[in-house]
Structure formats: structure tokens, C-alpha cells
């Protein structure tokens, strides 16, 4: 399925191709504050529809995840990193998808504070 998403102001728009089978709620110091519900896709499945310069990046701790956010409104539509096998991944904030209700999929809690 093809999903479209954006930040609040619309300066960052994207598409992601795949199936959302669940949402992940992480309690690490940044995810808890953002309130994002995440679904993971191969990075190649995410296509940015607006200029890259509309986004800023933030990394912390081990600096392995690039938390991407809109420079204008500050909303975090996705993050970029790699999985355990070294594959490039995108963690999409399901709250940024159009016409998608995150409560329609099972929610898994992840203890990011412990990692």
C-alpha cells in the first residue's frame, strides 16, 4: 500500500510504500517527548516529495539514528537508521500519515530507556 504523509505545516511531504502491521511506542528520552508511534520500512520505500533542505536532523546517544524534523514546524515525520543486519531503514511516525488511524493496528511498547 502507498501512504502519504507530511509534517504539520506541509513543508515536508513524503510517500512510503509497504504494509503497516503494527505501531511501536518507544519510551527513550526523545520518543517519549515526541509522542511518535513508529512503523519501520526499508529506507528505499520512503520517498521525500519536498526538498531535502526543508528537513533538519538530530542525533544523540550513540548517533546511529537520524531523527528528521521539519525546520519550520518542528514535527518529526520519520527517522533514519539501520537494522541489525545493516539494512537502511526508515522509522515513520504513523501520526504523520494521511488517512491512517494508528489505533487500527496493534501497539507494541519498546523499552528504549534500557537500551
Q: Is the predicted pLDDT of residue 94 greater than 80, yes or no?
A: yes
* Model confidence pLDDT, tens digit, residues 16-50: 999 999 999 999 888 899 999 999 999 999 999 99
Are 84 and 47 within 8 A, CB to CB? no
DSSP-derived letter for residue 63 is S
**pLDDT greater than 90 at residue 85:** yes
Per-residue confidence band for 6, with pLDDT thresholds at 50, 70 and 90: very high
Domain chopping of the chain, boundaries = 2-97
Give the mean pLDDT of 60-70.
Answer: 90
Q: Which CATH topology does 2-97 take?
A: 2.170.150
Amino acid at each position: 500500500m502507498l501512504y502519504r504523509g507530511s509534517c504539520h505545516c506541509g513543508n515536508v511531504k513524503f510517500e512510503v510504500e509497504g504494509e503497516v502491521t503494527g505501531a511501536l511506542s518507544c519510551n527513550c528520552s526523545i520518543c517519549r517527548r515526541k509522542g511518535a508511534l513508529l512503523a519501520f520500512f526499508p529506507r528505499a520505500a520512503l520517498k521525500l516529495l519536498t526538498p531535502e533542505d526543508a528537513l533538519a536532523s538530530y542525533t544523540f546517544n550513540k548517533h546511529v539514528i537520524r531523527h528528521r524534523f521539519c525546520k519550520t514546524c518542528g514535527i518529526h515525520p520519520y527517522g533514519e537508521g539501520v537494522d541489525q543486519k545493516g539494512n537502511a531503514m526508515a522509522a515513520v511516525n504513523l501520526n504523520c500519515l494521511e488517512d491512517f488511524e494508528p489505533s487500527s493496528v496493534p501497539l507494541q511498547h519498546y523499552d528504549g530507556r534500557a537500551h
